[in-house]
Amino acid sequence: MSEQLGLARESSGFLKSLLRTSLKNRVYLIIIVIALVVFGAMPYMIGVDSFFIYYLFMVFIYIGVSQGWNLVGGYTGQISLGTHAFFALGGYTTALIWIHGITHTWYYFDPLLMLLSGIVPAIFAVIIGLPTLSRLRGDYFSFGTLAAAEVLRIIILRTTEFSGGATGLQLPSGGFTDLGIYYWTALLLAVLATLAVFIITRSRIGLALRAISEDETSAASHGINILRYKMLSFVIGSFMIGVFGSLFVYYQFLINPATMMTIDRWMFYPLLICVLGGNGTIMGPIIGAFIIVTLFTFGQNALGAINPALSKVHPMLSGLIIILVMKYMPTGLWGLKDKISPRK
Amino acid sequence: MANQLLEVKGLDVSYGDVHALWDVSLQVEEGAIVALVGANGAGKTTILKTISGLLRAHRGEILLEGKPLNHLSPQQIVDMGVIHVPEGRRLFASLTVLENLKLGAYVPSARPFFAESLERVYSLFPVLKNRQGQRAGTLSGGEQQMLAIGRAIMARPKVMMLDEPSLGLSPILVKTIFQLIVTLNEQKATILLVEQNVNQALKIAKQAYVMKTGRIVMSGRGEELLANDEIRKAYIGEVASKRKE
Amino acid sequence: MGLSVQALVNGILFGTMYGTAAIGLSLIFGTMRIVFFAQGSVIIFFSYLCFWAFSLLGIDPYLSMIPVFILALLLGAGFYYVLFKEAAALQDRISSLLIAVGLMFILENFMEVVWTPNPRSIVTSYGFSIITILGTNITLVRLIALLIAILATAGVFIFLRKTLIGTAVRATSEDVESSTLMGISPNRVNAVAFAIGIGLASIAGINFATTYSFDPKYGFDVVIKALFALTLGGIGNVVGALLGGIIIGVIESMASFYLGMGWAQGVLFVLFILALTLRPYGLFGGASQKA
C-alpha cells in the first residue's frame, strides 16, 4: 500500500509506482479505461444530439469545476465560496477576446484562448488569495472569496459597454452543428482535470496540502510554507474552473451573470458535489457530479412536467442534501466504502 | 484503611489511536492529600481529564463513594462533587473575579450555598475580595491561582483535583500555594494533586503515585517515596543522605 | 439640512438593523465557532411572517413582534438541537458552514416558491408620519426601528452581564473546556446562544419589513453585511457589533448617495475584504481573540 501512496516520490517515481502497482489498482485502471472508451464512443452509439449526450456533457463540466474546487476545498481544507467568479471570469475572457477578434484559431474551441481563460481567473485568485489566505482563520478566506465574487458581479453588471451588463454578450455564431465536439472536449478536459488533481495530490505538494488541512499550526512548525501551498492549490483550482467556464461559453454562445454567475449552479453545486461524493478524494467529485446532475436534470424535468412551479424546488433539495450529508455522511459517498471495509 | 472516597480501577484511555493510559489504578482516601507525580507527558493530566469526564475511558472504572462516574457527563460529575482545576488556571480572563466565582457555584448542588461559599473564599483569600470587580485576566499569577482554587471551592466539592497549581509561580508563591493546600486539607478537603514539583508534593502528600508513560510505576506513602533514592535521583536530583532540609 | 445629512441619518437607522443581525451572529460564533450563514434568510423569513400577519390578519407589526420573538427563541433552540449540535461538539467548521449555507438555500427557495419573488413591504397607516429632529426628517417607522434595535442590544447586553446563564454564555465563548469543568452544560449554553441569535433575527426582520422592501433573495445581502459588521465589531463584543452595523449602514447610505446603489454595494464588499485582511480582530479589538 505504501507503494501505491508514493507520497514522497517525484513524478518519475510516481510513474514507476504506477507500473508495479497492486492488483486492486490494476482493476481500477481497467475499469477507468473501459469507462473512457464507453464515454468516448457514446455519441456514436446513441446519436450525437441526444439529450443523454447533453446530460453527460454537463456531468463532465461539473466534474471539472468540482475537481478545481476539490483541490482547494477538499484537499487543503479551505472552503472557497467564489467558484462562480472564476467560472464567469473564464467565460468572459473567452467571450471578450473572441468578440474583439484578438486571437481565435478555431470555432468550437481554441486551446490558446482556453489557456488564457484559465490564467485570468488564476490571476484573480492570486489577488484575492494573498490577503485572505494569509489569515489563520479559514472563515475569512470563505467570506473573502464570497465578497470578491460579488464585487466582480457588480463590476460586470455596471460596466455595460464592456461586459454587456445584465443582458450579457452574444458570441459570434456560425453554424452550430455538432454537440459532439463539445462533448469530447469536455470529456478530455474532465479527464485532464482529474488527472491533474490526482498527480498533484500524490506528490509532495499533496502531502503538504493534506498536512495543512489537518493541522495548520503543526504543519507550519514542520517548516511547510502555509501561504505558498494554499495559494498554489487555490490558483491551480481557479485555473481549472476558468477553463471549464471557457468551454461552457463556447457551448452556450451567450454569456451573462444570470447564467454564468448563479450562486446555486456554479458556487453551491460544485461544493455539494464534492461534499456528497467525498471531500478530498479523487472519485468523490466524479460520483457526486453524476448524482447531482442526474438528480437535477431529470428531476427538474420530471417535476416540471407535473407542475411548472415545482421545478423551483430543486435548490431547496440541494440545501437539504448538504445538511443530511454533513450530519450523517461527512466523508461523503466515497468515504463510506472506507467505513465498510477499512483499508488502513 | 479509611474510607476510599475516589477510586480508579484499571483505566485504559486513548486519544484516538494513541493509547495514553494503561491499566491505571489509584485510590484517594477521604481527607487525604494524594499526589500524582511524574514527568511531562506521563499521563497525569489525562487521568484527571478522564475522572472529570472530558475524556472517556474504554476500559476500567471510576468510583466516587462507590458510585460509578464513568458514563456521566462532566456536568453531572461536578454536581456529584468532583472538581478539576485545570493546568494553567484557565480562568475566564474577560470575566471579573466575582463572575468567575459565581460560575464556580453553577452546579445545582452548589448554587444554594453561594453566599456561604463566597464568604469562605473571601476569608481564605482577602485579596480576591479586594479585586472582586476586576477582570480575572488582570490579576497576577499568584492571584490567578488563588482565584482558580477559590472557584473550585465554590463548587463545594468532595474531591478537588489540582493540576500543577505551582506552575509558573515564583518560589515564594509556590510555598504559599502548597501551604494553602495543606490549610484546605486541614479544613477537611480531600485533594488529588498533580505536580511536577515532586519535592514539595511528596512533602505534603499522605499517599502518592508515580507515573511514567501512561502507567503507575510506583506508589506508597508520601514520606516513603520522598526518602526513596530512585525517586530522588529521577525527579528531585539528590540522594536523601546528602539533602539538608 | 442637506440631503447628504439625511442620507447619513438614514444610514445610521439602517445600520442598526445590520447591527442587530450581527449581534446574533456574534453570539453563535462566540460560543460554537459556527458562522450562521443563514442569518440573513432567517431575518427575511421573519419579515415575511410579520408581513402576512399584517396583510392577512391585520395585526400591527409591533404587536406581532412579541409572539414572533418567542417563536424565534424556540426556533433558534430547535435549529441548534436539530442541525448544529454535533458540528458544535466537534468544532467542525466546515460542516457547520455548509449546514448553514444549506439552510439558507432551503429558506430562500422555500420563500421564493411559496411567497413568490415579488418584493414586499409593510405599510402601516401611521408609519410614514415624519418627525423632525434637529432639522432632519425621519419617518416614524425608522425611528421606531432604531429604538427597537437599541433596546434589543441593551437587552442582550444586560442578559449577558447580569444573569448567571448569560455569564455562562460569555464564559463558554471564551473557553469551552474550562466552562465544562465548571459544570456548565455546553448544549444548554449553545441552545441559549442560538435562541437569542434567532430572536434578534426576528427583531431585525420586523424592522426590515417596516422600513424597507424585501424579497426572498435579500437575505444573502443582509448576511454578508452582518458578517462585515461582525468583523468590524470583533467577536464577543455586543456593542461593537451594533456600532459596526451602524458604520456599515452609514457607508452604504453615503456611498449610495454619491455613487448610486450599484457601486455602493461594490464599495462595501471591497471594504469588507479590506477589513478581513487588515483588521480581522475588529476595529474595537474583540475581548477574546480565539482563532
Give a yes or no: residue A118 inside a domain. Answer: yes
Domain boundary among A245, A270, A295: A270
The answer, yes or no, to whether residue A9 has pLDDT greater than 70, is no
* pLDDT value of position C163: 93
Question: Per residue in A181-204, pLDDT tens?
Answer: 888 889 999 999 999 999 998 888
pLDDT along chain B (245 residues), means of 10: 80 88 92 90 90 92 91 93 92 93 93 94 93 92 92 94 91 91 92 90 92 90 84 70 47
A309 inside domain: no
Q: Answer yes or no: do A75 and A58 share one domain.
A: yes
Tell whether B78 is within 8 A of chain C (Cβ): yes
Q: Are residues A91 and A19 both part of a single domain?
A: no
Last residue of a domain, one of A223, A254, A270: A270
Residue A275 lies in a domain: no
| Enclosing domain of residue A28 | 1-46
B224 near C CB under 8 A:
no
A341 in a domain, yes or no? no
The ranges assigned to domains in chain B are 4-81+158-242, 91-157
Model confidence at A215, pLDDT cuts 50, 70, 90, reads confident
pLDDT tens for residues B14-36?
888 888 899 999 999 999 999 99
Q: Which residues of C touch B91 (CB under 8 A)?
A: 178
Give the closest residue to A220 by CA, choosing from A208, A232, A231: A208
Could you tell me if A31 and A67 lie in one domain?
no
Same domain, A199 and A242: yes
Q: Which of C83, C224, C291 sits opposite A146 (nearest CB)?
A: C224
Which pLDDT value is given to residue A15? 61
The whole-number average pLDDT for the span A75-93 is 91
Q: Which of A270, A294, A313 is the last residue of a domain?
A: A270
Of B54, B94, B106, Cβ closest to residue C182: B106
Average pLDDT over residues C186-202: 94
| Residue C187: predicted pLDDT | 92
Q: Is residue A233 part of a domain?
A: yes
Question: Residue A16's pLDDT is what?
Answer: 62
Pairwise CA distance, residues C24 & A263, whole Å: 25
User: What single-letter DSSP state applies at residue A100?
Assistant: T
- The C-alpha of C130 sits at a distance from chain A's nearest C-alpha, in angstroms, of 34
Place of cell 467542525: C92
Report the pLDDT value the prediction gives residue A4, as an integer from 0 to 100: 38
C-alpha cell at C239: 456593542
pLDDT of residue C270 exceeding 70: yes
Domains of chain C (ranges; CATH) run 3-118+134-278 (1.10.3470)
Average pLDDT over residues C32-39: 91
Chain B residues close to C184, C-beta within 8 Å: 75, 103, 106
Whether residue A280 lies inside any domain: the answer is no
Instruction: For A14-65, write each residue's pLDDT tens digit.
Output: 566 656 667 777 888 888 888 888 888 887 877 777 788 888 999 999 999 9
Q: What confidence category does residue C140 fall into, taking pLDDT thresholds of 50, 70 and 90?
A: confident
| Shared-domain flag, residues A212 and A77 | yes
| Grid cell digits, residue B38 | 511524574
Q: What average pLDDT does this structure show over A130-135?
A: 84
Q: Determine phi and psi for B214, rounding to 5 degrees.
A: 85, 5
pLDDT > 70? residue A8: no
β-strand partners of C138: C131
Q: Is C95 on the interface with B (CB under 8 A)?
A: no
The total of structural domains in chain A comes to 2
* % of chain A surpassing 90 pLDDT: 26
Same domain, A70 and A22: no
Residue at A299 is within a domain? no
Among A30-39, A166-175, B56-65, C127-136, top mean pLDDT goes to B56-65
User: Same domain, yes or no, for A26 and A61?
Assistant: no
Are A27 and A141 part of one and the same domain?
A: no
Tell whether the model's pLDDT for residue A342 goes beyond 80: no
Residue type for A123, please? I
**Per-residue burial over C7-24, b = 16 or more CB atoms within 10 Å of its CB, e = otherwise:** bbbbbbbbbbbbbbbbbb
Q: pLDDT digits over A304-318, tens only?
A: 677 666 666 677 888
What type of residue is B183? T
Geometric angle at alpha carbon A273, from A269 and A274, rounded to 5°: 125
To the nearest whole Å, the CA of A147 is away from the closest chain C CA by 5
Across the range A312-332, mean pLDDT stands at 81
Do A148 and A7 have their domain in common?
no
Q: Same domain for A62 and A107?
A: yes
Section A129-135 average pLDDT = 85
Interface membership of B114 toward C (CB under 8 Å): no
> Least CB-CB distance to B90: which of C170, C175, C183?
C175
- For residues A10 and A146, state if they share a domain: no
Query: Does A309 contact C at CB distance below 8 Å?
Result: yes
In a domain? residue A335: no
Domain B4-81+158-242 fold: Rossmann fold (3.40.50)
Same domain, yes or no, for A201 and A158? Answer: yes
- Model-level pTM? 0.85
| Pairing between β-strand B190-195 and β-strand B159-163 as defined by DSSP bridges | parallel
Question: What rounded mean pLDDT belongs to chain B?
Answer: 89
Q: Is the pLDDT of residue C168 over 60?
A: yes
pLDDT digits (tens, 9 = 90+) for A217-230: 888 888 888 888 99
**What integer pLDDT is reported at residue A3 of this predicted model?**
40
Q: Which of C282, C173, C24, C266 is nearest to A140 (CA)?
A: C282
